[in-house]
Amino acid sequence: MRPTTPRRRFLQTTAAAFSIAGLADWIGALPGVTADEAKLDPKLVRLQPDIEPLVRLLEETPREKVLEETANRIRKGTSYREVLAALLLAGVRNVQPRPNVGFKFHAVLVVNSAHIASLNSPDEHRWLPIFWAIDNFKSSQAQNQRESGWRMGPVAETKVPNPAKASAAFVDAMNAWDVEAADAAAAGIARSCGMNEAFELFARFGCRDFRDIGHKAIYVANAFRTLQCIGWQYAEPILRSLAYALQKYDGPNPAKSDAAADRPGRENLQRCKQIEGAWKSGKPDDGATRSVLSALRSTNAADMSKLCVDLLNKQVASQSIWDGLLLGSGELLMRQPGIVGLHTVTTTNALHYLYTASGDDETRRLLLLQNAAFLPLFLDSMKSRGKTEDVRIDEMQAPKAEGSKVTPEQIFADVGKDRTSAGIKTLSYLASGGDATTLIDQARLLIFTKGADSHDYKFSSAVLEDYHQVSPQWRDRFLAAGTYWLRGSSAKDNTLVSRVRQALRG
């Protein structure tokens, strides 16, 4: 079944995002573009002429000079939005999402996370995440050149379907796992469809299989969120990159086999039909949230999805189920802090965003059921890597206050050194009336000053955003779990910060 026309808008619009104090001052016109600047190697995908020179600046300037050159452009009037657009486009043109939708490709995946961090930061720090991401892009670009030299080429124009057939051609190509046909169809969608129609198509395929520990769904969510800011006119190379990434697999063609990674999606497409029509009118139920949490500790992917169907048909609000899934992702991180554990949080963040942004009823059902199925698969992966601790997020207890209250400084002194203590202190701080916003702001600032990896930005942006997506009675526990992978005050400083500030000062 193909998605219907969306009925809901995205969660946040670009205009709302850019109403944050101080950000409007960054919006300015780009300098004029000369004919020479717009010239391009015919073997490369052609970008919009207004953004091509800035993209080439990022591509061609050596890593040791690119921040200074970018800062110089900003002082001459280049806007934040244009820098963000150039950064994402440089990534999709120069970094291949193979052999994994991860690793070096985090230069692309992290762009929206850096953008979210920037929007939510104090005025004086707002350029830091974007400049960090530019430096990170240069590292990934160099790695890509060493590994393959891949760069995105022009689309095969003769294969681009006509506007009336673009969506159907895309669905057929994706179902067949046909890379070339999907590439041409993605270009056709960018040229003939609106953002919401395209979003519905990509959201379904972003959640269809459990490969690359959630990075496919993460890429769909982050790409469309960034496109909301930079503008749909830049969509074509981004959608082509997305289509390429979503078709990554190993072994036989999934269209002709029954791989374990594809099974939950195929089964859940059928389970979607078992959910009764009134599923959106359910009532909140903390008992259901606890049931979801409990099941995630021992239930397999299929049974987890069945439980969610049963709860929805019993008129349990989807929010209560999502509370269980979000808390469950945090608990998995607590059980084994590491690369798989953190991706339970970032993947759930992406799938929940896609769910809230989608206007197609069946797609929303599928996204919820797929998230329910993925978390047990994450747990299986964690167990294959070593011990998982027996900790339960709903049983965390804040000690009774004795003497002075816990402070954010005490919490972040433990972050990165004593995860259990940091989590308990966070719960204690919030339970005693501590301000969550103060804690979140300090967490972001520590990412800016001490973050050294794409996951620092991806994880922090996800967990700090989802704190507000969890129901109030549960959200403090979710944030406490997040301290298991934030940056603490004792971590090494990121030397890039002083360089960025110096570059902006000129």
Domain borders along the chain are: 14-147, 157-254, 263-385, 396-485
CA dist., res. 187 & res. 172, Å (int): 15
Q: What is the pLDDT of residue 401?
A: 61
Q: What is the pLDDT of residue 25?
A: 38
**DSSP annotation of 191:** H
CA 159 from centroid of its chain's CA atoms: 31
Q: What is the pLDDT of residue 270?
A: 98
Whether residue 94 contacts residue 141, with contact meaning beta carbons closer than 8 Å, is answered with yes
Closest CA to 278 of 235, 254, 327, 313: 313
3-state helix, strand, coil in the chain (%, to 5): 70, 0, 30
Residue ranges in the chain modelled with pLDDT below 70: 1-41, 401-404
CA dist., res. 84 & res. 47, Å (int): 15
CA dist., res. 44 & res. 154, Å (int): 6
Convert 309-339 to b/e letters by CB count within 10 Å (16 or more is b).
bebbeeebbbbbbbbbbbbbbbbbbbbbeee
Q: What is the pLDDT of residue 460?
A: 97
| pTM > 0.85: yes or no | yes
CA dist., res. 106 & res. 134, Å (int): 12
Convert 152-187 to b/e letters by CB count within 10 Å (16 or more is b).
beebeeeebbeeeebbebbbebbeebbeebbbbbbb
The tokens describing 143, both together, are: 């790695």
Q: How far is CA 382 from CA 329, 331, 388, 391, in A?
A: 12, 12, 7, 14
Residues 6+ apart with CB under 8 A from 325: 292, 296, 348, 352, 368, 371, 372, 375
Cis peptide before 161 (omega within 30 of 0): no
C-alpha radius of gyration, the chain, whole number: 22
